[in-house]
Amino acid sequence: MTRTEGLPLAALGLTVTLWASVFPGIRAALEWYTPEHLAVVRNLVAGGAFAVYAAVMRLRPPVVRDFPGILLIGFLGTIQQLALNYGARTVSAGAVSFLVGTVPIFTALLAITFLGERLRVWGWTGILTSFCGIGLLGLAEGEGVRFAPGALFVILASLAESLMIVLMKPYLARYRALPFAAYRSWAAALFLLVYVPGLPEVVQPAPHGPPLTAVYLGIFPLAVANVIWGYVLARTAAASATSFFYAVPALAILIAWCWLGEVPSGLSVIGGIVAILGVMLVNTRARNQT
């Protein structure tokens, strides 16, 4: 593997790890915050960090003609966060893992349709293999795949994420990853301003744990991971890059074990191994065929 290939791969691995920490983090933060206020705090933290960067680097605004697209991407980011927060309140951990695994499927179909990307036999084989692994994770966690009403919110979050990925691809050919992450962060925060009233009453009496968790979720999985994700997406096919999403539930279970004390079952471990094998299949044999 060359250095040119290795850097995006390492960056993608870090991104997936940070995103995996979102699930236990959301579960911990929702013990105090509402879904709306958690999304607001995360985006205010991320937006503030990007504002410091913009002031220091004298970041220029995006081209006027790109404003509608950036606003749409920000709106989809808002929908994704709110839907995931709502879903996490009522959906079992196994079902969340399974449903989030639909992101690569949605993205592959959208990328083939709108970006002209190709995914051949080994690519689809890898995706289906990983999807089976996610299914095993879903069956292993808690009471199995129990689709509570909130499952529709998780599906909506996955679809919004997929649309956002496909829409971002052309913009990342014109903007560097860090400035574009700032633009989309501010756009998402703009749509969440409606939930700011009442936020002080929630934040002020909160114990130290939930605010620190929300700050972590805003800086690392939201701000830092989105910058790295933009770097990866600018250099990798969307369908191939999102196949790494299948590793997220396996890592999320491991992080939840360390963070929340949720011990994974043997079937969870097997499902995680199968999911990661599918990712490896997509990014070796499928890449060689394209």
Look at residue 73 and tell me whether its pLDDT is greater than 90: yes
- Average pLDDT rounded to a whole number, residues 145-173: 82
Minimum mean pLDDT range among 6-15, 23-32, 185-194, 227-236:
6-15
Between 78 and 14, name the one with better pLDDT: 78
- pLDDT value at position 290? 46
Give the range with max mean pLDDT: 28-42, 143-157, 158-172, 178-192. Answer: 178-192
Q: Find the mean pLDDT for residues 167-190.
A: 93
Residue listed under structure tokens 């995103």: 19
Q: Supply the pLDDT for residue 252.
A: 76
Q: How far is CA 76 from the centre of its chain?
A: 12
Per-residue pLDDT at 96: 66
- Which stretch of 54-63, 70-79, 224-233 has the lowest confidence by average pLDDT? 224-233
Task: Give the angle 223-226-230 at the CA atoms, nearest 5°.
Answer: 140
pLDDT, tens digit (0-9, with 9 covering 90-100), for 201-255: 777 776 777 788 899 999 998 899 889 988 888 887 776 777 676 677 778 777 8
pLDDT at residue 177 tops 80 = yes
Q: How confident is the model at residue 4 (pLDDT cuts 50, 70, 90)?
A: very low
pLDDT at 64 over 90: yes
| pLDDT on residue 16 | 83
- For position 107, what pLDDT does the model report? 74
Q: Write out the DSSP string of the chain.
A: --HHHHHHHHHHHHHHHHHHTHHHHHHHHTTTS-HHHHHHHHHHHHHHHHHHHHHHHTPPPPPGGGHHHHHHHHHHHHHHHHHHHHHHHHS-HHHHHHHHTTHHHHHHHHIIIII-----HHHHHHHHHHHHHHHHHHHHSTTSS---TTHHHHHHHHHHHHHHHHHHHHHTTTS-HHHHHHHHHHHHHHHHGGG-TTHHHHHTT--SHHHHHHHHHIIIIIIIHHHHHHHHHTTS-HHHHHGGGGHHHHHHHHHHHHHH--PPPHHHHHHHHHHHHHHHHIIIIIHHH-
Q: What is the pLDDT of residue 2?
A: 45
For residue 119, the model assigns a pLDDT of 65
> Quick check: 283 pLDDT over 60?
no
Whether the per-residue pLDDT at 144 is higher than 60: the answer is no
Q: Sorting pLDDT into bands at 50, 70 and 90, what band is 6?
A: low
Tell me, what's the pLDDT at 224? 92
When pLDDT is averaged across residues 153-179 and rounded to a whole number, the result is 89
233/96: higher pLDDT? 233
Give me the pLDDT at residue 181, please. Answer: 94
Per-residue confidence (pLDDT) for residue 45, from 0 to 100: 94
